Amino acid sequence: MFYKIVPVPGGQTYPTPVPAYQIFALWLIILALVFAVFWFTSRVTSYHPEREEEV
């Protein structure tokens, strides 16, 4: 899957090197998702005293 394991002579398999841009892009996607989850969670659970009487 991600490592694209290919057979090599000798009976052992080694993962082919992953290009640096793929690692960087994956990190950006993960960081963006984590940031979005925390941001939306903080907005939903934040305390708003001006809205207290509406609840």
Handedness of CA 22, 25, 29, 31 (dihedral sign): positive
pLDDT of 32 strictly over 90: yes
Evaluate whether 20 touches 33 at the Cβ level (below 8 Å).
Answer: no
pLDDT of residue 18: 77
The pair phi, psi for residue 42, each rounded to 5°, is: -70, -35
pLDDT of 16 strictly over 70: no
Tell if the pTM clears 0.75, that is, is over it: no
pLDDT of 45 strictly over 90: no
pLDDT of residue 1: 44
Rounded mean pLDDT, 40-49 = 80
